[in-house]
Structure 1
């Protein structure tokens, strides 16, 4: 009887959300059946009360009090574990990202490629061109002049103009080479803080992907935690494909035949799933779903996460993907790196947050696992920063590359006029 009324309450909520004949008749049928069960229960209690039915009025409150007490002592289960329990209890897996987002809704129409004139940054071009060709996407080449950079502060005005002209000629040459390869390309020359301007171009052009190296002209000798790549990820909500410039051939591959996807059971990590399908279908990739049995002290967590991965793999396999799943290791970042080397992975895919949840501040701090993976892996990393509110108050100046008679930025031009006066 109690279960019936609980079911009726839930069906009533469903009916309010989706007013349909099916939900209406389900509610009516449940209410009638529950009412009959309740009447029968009352009759039984009335007839058998003195024969022991009164014990229910003692046992049920006692059990409720005991359950409530120990439930509070145990505390709420972690969100990931609670979600895994629900998924496994239903014996099916229909995450929002798989049911509501179709493959053709995750295209790459516009790809941003930041360049700074260095050979290190140029190593992103091969991958960007491969994506442009595979998805018929337009490349957005951006070069940002950071006047506050240490090497620019001590330049004279004449040196600054010469430096700017060289950069613009360089970007023009790169764009022309791309056009000669029958690919669409646009160029952007900006003044300001590079990470902010890269994000600004991504937003203005409604870009679907940023392809860049983890080190550029100003990051030589620095670790990734201080690099431009991290600052871009902190600013942007656009997916970022990071290429680590090394002499290792696997780091510079432009086709991804073996993809490792890091999942932990959280909805945040699942946001990468639609991109898995897009990559795998275009590059005919084998996908390795991977998780580490850590993050919960509850008994059987490793078994739950394995069943979760198997369900995800089964769902994607039904769509024709070549996919397998594995749960192993100790320490997420260390295990992901070891697995990528053992399986000769060409691309690691992950979100910038897993169990930590979404950070709603102005910037998105990179999770420690993602940070360590980016810093130490030799293969490219596809990182999906979690979305946040658009940043406001950013100012930038667009300069046409057709104008080789370069003028000073407005700030310097105004300063010179003031000095002249």
Structure 2
């Protein structure tokens, strides 16, 4: 992995100020940390799967773990739950060291992608199960089950068995059962992966509302970036057993730390170029033309310019200039609410996303101009994290 060249590409002042604010907030909220991972390293035999993970999860926060297959996100959540032991480092739950603490004594709730419900028990009995294990009184169990059935909007279904419920309803039962024990931390392992596409967003929004209503500190593993963007307060993106970036969904999308993150977070136009002029704005000469950005960089620096497709505006053809590229439409695909356009700018393929009433199909060969506002062009060090 290439290293960042901080001398060549610098964050704008607003981003630096934000970073300082976040650092100060982290210090203020240290007392609110529910889970702390300090240099956690996990090995499977001779293979190192997690490399010195540092992560603090604050009270009431939902953090999404995201990453390519094999990046270590499942190992990370299994380690927190107690199914895997770290080779090095510390896991602290409210400051309590979890080393050697078995799964059933960690007070951590688990929701699996397979629901893991008892098929021979009713909804109410599934929810009551952990309370019976804890030897709660009959009246207390009845009251808590009634409260949770109402919370997950399953009133009228308490007497049904799982087979009579939809996938979304079964997942809500699984969530209610995990919440029954008032866990200090809730772990969600791909909670929406078994649902139909039409249900994923609906159930995901329901889970988020429940998490916010109960204030339950939560870590969710997902392979779906849209789920992570829609549900998480912060995202930890893993790559090869390390956290590549930890930030809010907006910052991960708008301010990725490197080219890998830019492409992983969403569709991205990544144009290699050289800084040819600096001042109030920075000009970068690329093969497609000259782009401008508010980011700072040293003259002559080799950089990559990130432009999201939705930030590329298609205009009638005009003479090229800084931030305005001459292009030819190669192809377009109409998806109802949006139009995906592929254009060729001096041999460089650039994607644009057009939405709303402007999403009219373009014809291949049509001459256009592509405008990119300086606020929408983000500089990344060339090769960093690629």
State the TM-score, normalized to the length of structure 1: 0.26
Greater Cα radius of gyration, structure 1 or 2: 1
Bigger proportion of residues as strand: 2
State the TM-score, normalized to the length of structure 2: 0.28
Bigger proportion of residues as helix: 1
